[in-house]
Amino acid sequence: MTPTDATATAGSAPPAPRITAAGRRTRDRIVRTAAELMFRKGVAGTSIPDVQQAAKVSASQIYHYFGDKSDLVRAVIRHQIERTLEGQRPLLDRLDSFEALRAWCDEAVEVQKRRNCEGGCEIGSLASELVETCELMRGELVAAFDRWEAPIREGLRRMRETGVLVADADVDHLATAMLAAVQGGLLLTQVRRSPEPLRAATDAAIGYVETFAA
Amino acid sequence: MTPTDATATAGSAPPAPRITAAGRRTRDRIVRTAAELMFRKGVAGTSIPDVQQAAKVSASQIYHYFGDKSDLVRAVIRHQIERTLEGQRPLLDRLDSFEALRAWCDEAVEVQKRRNCEGGCEIGSLASELVETCELMRGELVAAFDRWEAPIREGLRRMRETGVLVADADVDHLATAMLAAVQGGLLLTQVRRSPEPLRAATDAAIGYVETFAA
């Protein structure tokens, strides 16, 4: 809730709740716009004035919600991991069989085909650009990858519990290998403009998990 | 050979060859310096004046060897893939057994431990930042990854020829999966500051290759 937002919605309804909702919408629009710009032009290539112009907000609105660019970038990371996980649901939340693992990877490959293998991974690109900038940023990236890895590990754990995988299968290790394959596969698929690297990488990761089949 | 280099070495020896060698040294120093800066601060965060100052050269020297920043960045990609491959030799050139694959991956993990898992992959970072900038740049990155993948594929091919792998093992597919695992593993290792993701990713890739053992 800011003077700016109050101004923007002034006179249209009971002040407090409407202003809060409007404030939230403004904040969301800033984050979505920043995320789009940073995905296309990189974080370094996206200035606060760029975001301001594209989101049609004032500088004071941006600085009200985000103390500085670093704050905004961290909100962008959270937004992008949220969108990435959302896009992979419901498959991501039910990785409890080899068929489910394959369906999830097939869908990831299809998404790349639909995009002509352009753009790469929203989170991977942010990670590569930002990981060495500061510990706060790296912490945000660690949290993002942890959120992505959790449902993969959870699915593998259920496979172990239901006897699909052997009892001593290390699901932490397998989930990390799976996420790494997706990340490396997405980068090579982006560079080569071919779905084959992502296909090869995920085939390999699933093939490795299969060596732990009970 | 440039007027600037001629000036730099004037009067010290028979002109032509000395000037050429000096020119090459100057060019190499510019590329090495740019590569170091771009590795630490990103390509977007490294200006021509930054390179000029750090390499102790004039702007005209940089623009003599490199028409523009894009030319210099492409030379940096070539320099970094060269260094990356050099750093992995002789292991990389003899990946013709499971022991050799494991030794190569072990060494990659050890390198990350010695670096405290900081910095990530020189080529992967450049790829992530530059792949969408233009087709010329993407072509340079494709060439870099192709150069890296070639000795992996060659090793796997020898494993197939010597009967270590089954006759119908698809060495192109396996080599791509291996390179993707290294890339994804390096990124997660960098973000988490832990060698475990690279270890997990390469264990998985080798474990997958093992499913094609004769």
Domain ranges of chain B: 3-67, 88-210
Task: For residues B160-183, give the mean pLDDT.
Answer: 98
Q: Which pLDDT belongs to residue A188?
A: 98
What pLDDT, on a 0 to 100 scale, did the predictor assign at position A7? 39
Closest Cα in chain B, distance from residue A73 (Å): 16
Domains A3-67 and A89-210 share a fold: no
Angstrom distance (rounded) from CA B146 to CA B28: 23
Which residues of chain B lie closer than 8 angstroms to A187, CB-CB?
Answer: 124, 127-128, 180, 183-184, 187
Q: CA-nearest residue of chain B to A208?
A: B208
For residue B8, the model assigns a pLDDT of 40
Q: Tell me, what's the pLDDT at B22? A: 87
Summarised one tens digit per residue, pLDDT across range B75-132 is 999 999 999 999 999 999 999 999 999 999 999 999 999 999 999 999 999 999 999 9
Evaluate if residue A5 carries a pLDDT over 50: no
pLDDT at B5 exceeding the cut of 90: no
Local confidence band at A22 (pLDDT 50, 70, 90 cut-offs): confident
CA angle A187, A191, A197 (to 5 degrees): 60
Top-level class of domain A89-210: mainly alpha
Domain B88-210 has CATH 1.10.357.10: yes
Burial of A11 by CB count in 10 Å (0-12 exposed, 13-18 middle, 19+ buried)? exposed
Instruction: Collapse the DSSP code of B173 into the 3-class scheme (helix H, G, I; strand E, B; otherwise coil) and give the result.
Output: helix
Tokens of B145: 């990854």
Cβ of B177 within 8 Å of Cβ of A200? The answer is: yes
* Nearest CA-CA distance, residue B13 and chain A, Å: 45
Cβ contact (<8 Å) for B44 and A44?
yes
Distance between CA atoms of A160 and A96, rounded to whole angstroms? 9
In this complex, which of A131, A177, A190 lies closest to B204 when CB atoms are compared? Answer: A177
* Averaged pLDDT, A33-42: 96
pLDDT of amino acid A19? 56
Top CATH class, A3-67: mainly alpha
Q: Where are the alpha helices (DSSP H) in chain A?
A: 3-9, 15-41, 48-55, 59-65, 69-88, 98-114, 122-130, 135-161, 171-192, 196-210
pLDDT digits (tens, 9 = 90+) for A87-125: 999 999 999 999 999 999 999 999 999 999 999 999 999
Would the CB atoms of B181 and A179 count as touching at under 8 Å? no
Q: Which residues pair with A213 in a beta bridge?
A: A165
Residue B208 has pLDDT above 90, yes or no: yes
Nearest-Cα distance to chain B for A8, in Å, is 36
Q: Do A138 and B193 touch (CB under 8 A)?
A: yes
Please compute the mean of the pLDDT values over residues A53-64 and round it to a whole number. 94
The chain B residue lying nearest A138, using CA atoms, is B191
Q: Which residue has the higher pLDDT, B50 or A2?
A: B50
Span of A73-77, B16-20, B188-192 with lowest mean pLDDT:
B16-20
pLDDT at A8 over 80: no
pLDDT digits (tens, 9 = 90+) for A133-176: 999 999 999 999 999 999 999 999 999 999 999 999 999 999 99
Q: For chain A, what is the mean pLDDT?
A: 92
CA B28 to chain centre: 16
User: CB contacts < 8 Å between A and B, how many?
Assistant: 161
CA-nearest residue to A182 within chain B is: B184
pLDDT averaged over chain B?
Answer: 92
**How confident is the model at residue B19, as a pLDDT?**
56
Q: What does the alpha-carbon distance between residue B169 and residue B160 come to, in Å, rounded to a whole number?
A: 7
